[in-house]
Structure 1
Amino acid sequence: MKQTINVNVSLDYDDSEIKRAAKKDYNLKLESYEIIERSLDARRSILKFNLKLLVDFDFEIKGSGKYREKYKPKELPKNKLKVGIVGFGPAGIYAAHVLNLAGFNVDVYERGSDVDKRKEDVFKFIESRVLNPESNISFGEGGAGTFSDGKLTSRSKDDRKEYVKDTLYSFGAPEDIKIMHKPHIGTDIMTEVIKNFRNDLIKRGVNIYFNSKAKRLIFEGEKVVGIETETGKYYYDIVVLAIGNAARDTFVNLIDEGVHLEGKSFSVGFRIEHSQLFVDKAQFRNYVGHKRLLHGEYSLTAKSGDNGVYSFCMCPGGIVVPSASEEFHLSVNGMSFHDRGLPNANSAIVRTVNGIDDPIKAIEYQREIERKAFILGGEDYTAPAIHVRDFLNNSEAKTLINVRPSIKTGVRYTKIDEIFEKGFADDLREGLIQMDKKMSGFIDDAIITAPETKTSSPVRIKRDEYFNTNISNLFACGEGAGYAGGIVSAALDGLKCAEKIMEVTIDGI
């Protein structure tokens, strides 16, 4: 009987220590086991690893966890149904993957470029300050996460998330993503993984069209029957919207075409940078430099009145990157390579934005911040920046610090309050002060680069239990649809969307 147990071991653990821990905690004599997850417990002075082990005994171990067999998508004979997918980020990729295995004829339309051309466009933007609004940090093959950090962290309890990781591993992701509690691939490797995934899909018969923005849907009465791009009209039995959270023009078009969207809560703020060594010392203390410890991370929360303030998408050993996706708008994000070896750590510090029910107003809320930031930075995509102590004091002065901003498009030192609505910056200040109490020194040697606006979609595409929108034959999934946040959750949503399409078509429900 396969089951899981958890044991705490030292950082220098070996096979014998694992077996002693199993004997002590479960009175088990382990002959064999598999480590399926490893997480760091840094709550006490002596750091420990928590290992989740897969074991096999002919009796149920008291206190053990149930082991579920790994998910495997259905592989079915070819059918005649045609599916058009809009977007080739995690949701679109996994929807295409599962539907293809189930025998559907799948075409994918991606507004941005393939990853190689995307790299060129990002470097060109940094050098020339000429933005390609269709191919950038936010838009293109693999979605925004490919050009961020390749984080695979997910709070989902869905067993299928292991399938997502296993698939990425099969296309070249590092083996450690299979056991790390907070796995990450890194932009340098993620771009190659996505390319390998794409080539496999093409080999299996999926058609993928880059630089092919869906301009509008094609209707026949009350149902969707296709997609119109700049190159023509293409007809399908099913259309899947797997767009990203920055696809604001597409959101507006969908509203105009009668698709039901609603505003949802989201968050905005800025990026904060520290020395990675500061974060390592804060998290690892005397264990800094241990061979089994990689790079320190943090996750902090605070409250200012009724508003939540929290860290988001922390990038150890990374850089801040310009993530503008519309001309004359400015936003930033974080990125790390696989080795996370650069001197700065960065994270978003954001405050929740609630109560904007109108989807157009929610979209414009983000845009307004980005327009103001573009002007404040000098109208050439230079980012507004301020040292944290100066931000807290609402001061123009530039306090002397050691950390230097990492964003390649440069910064302009200035107050940043004016890019946010009244009182918003004060909530962020209160959040930073509370975070400093949890992580001493957080507000000292640190710099802010603004604004971070694309933590999640500001809207949600309404759908039923089968992922169908209010328009017949039109399905929605992923971050842009408002049901996911991050690579794994978006991939899971795309996978589940594919399963629902199978239910309502070939399974006859």
Structure 2
Amino acid sequence: MIKIADITLPLSAGRDELVKQASARLSLPEKEILSLKIIKKSVDARKKQDVHFQYTVGVTLKSGEEKAVGKSRDAKISLVESYHYEMPICRRLVKRPVVVGFGPAGMFAALILAQAGQRPIVLERGADVEKRTRQVEAFWNGGALNPDSNVQFGEGGAGTFSDGKLNTGTKDGRAGKVFEELVKAGAPEEILYEAKPHVGTDLLPGIVKAIREQIITLGGEVCFESKLIEMISQQGKVNRVVVERDGERQTIETQHVILAIGHSARDTFEAILEQGVTMEQKPFSIGARIEHSQAEINRAQYGSFAGHPALGAADYKLAVHLENGRGVYTFCMCPGGQVVAAASEPGRLVTNGMSRWARDDINANAALLVGVNSTDFESEHPLAGMHFQRKWEEAAFRVGGGDFRAPAQRVGDFLKGKASHSFGTMPSYRPGVVPADLSSCLPTYVVESMRQGILLMERRLHGFSNPDAVLTGVETRSSSPVRIIRGADGQSLTLGGLYPCGEGAGYAGGIVSAAVDGIRAAEAVLNSGE
């Protein structure tokens, strides 16, 4: 296949124009092109008077591909091979492997093990995606929080109630396997080539259910509402696990445990630390959700092209470095989305963002975060970062009134250091917000850094500091506060047969990178030869 990069087309151009441009770049008649597929598609909005699409395509010719590339003097034309994932070859493991957690990392670890014929047993403390969705909706409508099945816990992990963003900086070829399996499970094919692919909260449940069904069809077992209580070892290696299910404890014999528990399984962090599993503090970030009118973001990014049907809702990604040494940045930006209640513990309030596939809600939101590290925590304990998170989540819960309503503040008031009493842009957070002063539930240095960051970001995105924009707090779960140490073989340094992976173990930062790390963990199990 021939790869051709940097094909520029107007927003209204169709596939025929892509073929015409490709043939012109290759100096060949269109009839010589057997097939063309889009490898990458992105919006170029650097010049607001000329917003257009930028493509990279893969072209298959009837014959003579090497000759065609050899004749071309275009540096953006090259021969490439199609990606193909090679499944590790492994004999049947003595005991069935156990995967703890069914978010992106656990799901793809289990899928690889199932495809390799190893019949994995998956333990997920939360409910299946249908039941979990009902529980989350009930909570957002003012009902009780279920500590074991919520936005953080349950089938699909925290990513199920997000924008389903699949942006990734990883160059690992396993990402190709992730995208292929997602499309096979029902994700739109556009994710294979969009520069900023996403799936959407409304489509994710069906996709994760399809992957679960594939695992079961291949001989795997997925156990919901099943919580890991203890790992029992013999001679320094995992021998069995104890699971709580329906109020009863059961024991499962295994020699391999893939730990994919996500960044919010705090009770599990505490339990495995007590068992002697080595972990350490890890930097992360905290802040609040910032919410603007989506129409305002569209105008800022696309100028007169805003509203063009080929563009959809505009996004943004901003980062600044302050003189105080702090970094301030936007994260998990959700065009046309909502701010959501993402708590997983009673008495502690957390926000996140989500959007549907169409991204058609009236507001845009993103996390506005400030980096924190061990110098900000109150001790050298491995879980000090987790304790730090809890402190500010408890403060937000109190300021919000103690019923999971969130404290919110107009950006204009936040910059002036005064509490809000009303809103212009209406906050989208459910079950509702309380006008407040966010400085009462965030560290002073975080508040000051956010204020400086907002003003600097205004220079890059007009309207970012709009006084009527809304900040809703707090956001503390951008990434795991710990790293569970593992060796080159993927195993815990202190407990053989334990394979920590994904965001919760501190080795990933999004859906795709977590899924890739889950695949790595599965490969490590398959290569262990036990």
Shorter-chain TM-score range: over 0.9
Question: Which of residues 137, 156, 171 in structure 1 aligns to 2:151?
Answer: 137
What is residue 303 of structure 1 aligned with on the other side? 321
What is residue 6 of structure 1 aligned with on the other side? 6
Equivalent residue letter for 1:46: D
Q: Does 1:419 align with 2:441?
A: yes
Is the 1:389–1:399 contact (alpha carbons within 8 Å) kept by the matching residues of 2? no
Equivalent residue letter for 2:5: I
What is residue 165 of structure 2 aligned with on the other side? 151
Structure 1 residues 67-78: aligned runs within 5 Å? 67-74=80-87
What is residue 465 of structure 2 aligned with on the other side? 443
1: distance between equivalents of 2:224 and 2:141? Answer: 24
Name the CA shift for 1:9/1:467 in 2 (closer, same or farther; >3 Å). Answer: same
Name the CA shift for 1:399/1:328 in 2 (closer, same or farther; >3 Å). Answer: closer
Is the 1:75–1:101 contact (alpha carbons within 8 Å) kept by the matching residues of 2? no
Aligned residues: percent identity? 39
Structure 1 residues 9-408: aligned runs within 5 Å? 9-15=9-15, 17-19=17-19, 21-22=21-22, 27=27, 29=29, 31=33, 32-44=35-47, 45-56=49-60, 57-59=65-67, 60=69, 61=72, 62-63=74-75, 64-65=77-78, 67-74=80-87, 79-81=92-94, 82-230=96-244, 231-304=249-322, 305-355=324-374, 358-398=381-421, 401=424, 403-408=425-430
Question: What is the deviation of 1:370?
Answer: 0.3
Question: What is the deviation of 1:29?
Answer: 5.0
Question: What is the deviation of 1:418?
Answer: 2.1
Q: Which moved more, 1:65-74 or 1:435-444?
A: 65-74
Question: Which of residues 468, 479, 483 in structure 2 aligns to 1:460?
Answer: 483
Equivalent residue letter for 1:34: K
Question: What's the TM-score once normalised by structure 1's chain length?
Answer: 0.95
Is the 1:80–1:105 contact (alpha carbons within 8 Å) kept by the matching residues of 2? no
- Residue segments in structure 2 that go unaligned for 5+ positions in a row: none
2: distance between equivalents of 1:205 and 1:23? Answer: 48
Question: What is the deviation of 1:28?
Answer: 5.4
Name the CA shift for 1:303/1:80 in 2 (closer, same or farther; >3 Å). Answer: closer
Question: What's the TM-score once normalised by structure 2's chain length?
Answer: 0.91
> Over residues 45-97 of structure 1, what are the superposed CA-to-partner deviations in whole Å (9 max), with x where a residue is unaligned?
30121101112422335423552332324275861432011100111111111
Question: What is the deviation of 1:472?
Answer: 0.8
SS at match of 2:206: helix
SS at match of 2:527: helix
Q: Which moved more, 1:465-474 or 1:327-336?
A: 465-474
Question: Which of residues 505, 517, 528 in structure 2 aligns to 1:481?
Answer: 505
Q: How many aligned residue pairs are there?
A: 505
SS at match of 1:138: coil
Question: What is the deviation of 1:176?
Answer: 1.6
- Residue segments in structure 1 that go unaligned for 5+ positions in a row: none
Name the CA shift for 1:77/1:359 in 2 (closer, same or farther; >3 Å). Answer: closer
Is the 2:337–2:360 contact (alpha carbons within 8 Å) kept by the matching residues of 1? yes
Question: What is the deviation of 1:194?
Answer: 0.6
Name the CA shift for 1:462/1:80 in 2 (closer, same or farther; >3 Å). Answer: closer
Is the 2:242–2:251 contact (alpha carbons within 8 Å) kept by the matching residues of 1? yes
2: distance between equivalents of 1:172 and 1:296? Answer: 25
SS at match of 2:141: helix
Is the 2:410–2:470 contact (alpha carbons within 8 Å) kept by the matching residues of 1? yes
1: distance between equivalents of 2:361 and 2:463? Answer: 20
2: distance between equivalents of 1:161 and 1:65? Answer: 22
SS at match of 2:232: strand
Q: Which moved more, 1:123-132 or 1:48-57?
A: 123-132
Is the 1:76–1:101 contact (alpha carbons within 8 Å) kept by the matching residues of 2? no
Question: What is the deviation of 1:276?
Answer: 0.7
2: distance between equivalents of 1:218 and 1:71? Answer: 38
1: distance between equivalents of 2:252 and 2:522? Answer: 20
1: distance between equivalents of 2:81 and 2:230? Answer: 42
Question: What is the deviation of 1:255?
Answer: 1.0
2: distance between equivalents of 1:18 and 1:273? Answer: 37
SS at match of 1:53: strand
Question: What is the deviation of 1:147?
Answer: 1.0
